[in-house]
Structure 1
């Protein structure tokens, strides 16, 4: 219970501060730090089950399975006009570096900043990639789960935190 109150208070402070006109660099630094804290904390309790995937979906987010019937491990999350793509590879374990290695091999990606996180035999990372002059691709991964979005230059910090909370919570139904 204390953890949830602390997380709620932290998110409220972040929400208030995000309206104070942080630069993109400040949002990125803050977002990476927030994502690392979420990764190292206990995973959020799952509150949705879509197909074979159980996960935590933050308030004001909607989630649905991909329309492609052959793609049952892809989920689409939306919040307002923002769209997030969640991919779950059921063959990868918590310490999988597959998504990170694929990102690093892609020479077309201009990585602005990245952070690797390793904790208790789990591997994760956060990366910000320049999509164009006004947009960034945010990528967050934990083990076999990866979520990404294309976003404008605002609320990057809170988006990265939410994204890490989502991927850290992913479980497959047994």
Structure 2
């Protein structure tokens, strides 16, 4: 009797725990549903200045390396690569069209206003996803898992929306 009870408790526990995990479809749907509101509402004042621009970096993020058109940023125990092209303005869709041409994305969504063109691209499967977010001539990319996908998306949009070019 005790063995059956223990077995039943274990089986119920496994079902509960497996039901708590986020599926790929759910994670991508959350991003897809929040693209517009995330790009419209996540604005912060810049708190860091670099060669060509100023931008907001969340408290837990630090710049590891800066080069002519890249920043390597570390935050939340992962790396982010920010690439910027000062020749492309905020309404440029160049990076979006490049992502679209690869045809390897799991999710590709865009958002456009008169002032800017923004997009999010997710590629990969299983445990390893590449998340790329772009606004005009600036894009930021990271490798992430499903659990961090939406939080990383929000952090990345917040950083990109804060960029003010100085040149």
Give the alignment of 1:5-154 within 5 angstroms: 21-41=21-41, 43-66=43-66, 71-107=67-103, 110-130=104-124, 132-154=125-147
Superposed CA deviations along residues 129-163 of structure 1, whole A, max 9, x for unmatched, are: 11x53200001000111000111232111110111
Report the Cα distance in structure 2 between the residues aligned to 1:52 and 1:124, rounded to whole angstroms: 20
Report the Cα distance in structure 2 between the residues aligned to 1:100 and 1:36, rounded to whole angstroms: 16
TM-score (norm 1): 0.76
The number of aligned residues is 148
Report the Cα distance in structure 1 between the residues aligned to 2:59 and 2:34, rounded to whole angstroms: 18
Superposed CA deviations along residues 17-64 of structure 1, whole A, max 9, x for unmatched, are: xxx643232222223444432312363211111222211111211124
TM-score (norm 2): 0.79
Give ranges in structure 1 of 5+ residues lacking alignment: 1-19
Report the Cα distance in structure 1 between the residues aligned to 2:22 and 2:114, rounded to whole angstroms: 33
1:35–1:161: 8 Å Cα contact kept in structure 2? no
Q: Counterpart in 2 of 1:4?
A: none
Q: Which deviates more from structure 2 when the two are superposed, residues 46-55 or residues 27-36?
A: 27-36
Secondary structure in 1 matching 2:147: coil
Q: In the superposition, relative to structure 1, how do residues 170 and 162 fare at CA in structure 2: closer, same or farther (>3 Å)?
A: same
Higher helix share: 2
Report the Cα distance in structure 2 between the residues aligned to 1:166 and 1:145, rounded to whole angstroms: 10
Secondary structure in 2 matching 1:159: helix
Deviation above 3 Å: which 4+ runs of structure 1?
32-35
Report the Cα distance in structure 2 between the residues aligned to 1:44 and 1:38, rounded to whole angstroms: 12
Secondary structure in 2 matching 1:91: coil
Q: Which deviates more from structure 2 when the two are superposed, residues 81-90 or residues 21-30?
A: 21-30
Superposed CA deviations along residues 90-122 of structure 1, whole A, max 9, x for unmatched, are: 011111001011112225xx2111111012331
Give ranges in structure 2 of 5+ residues lacking alignment: 1-19
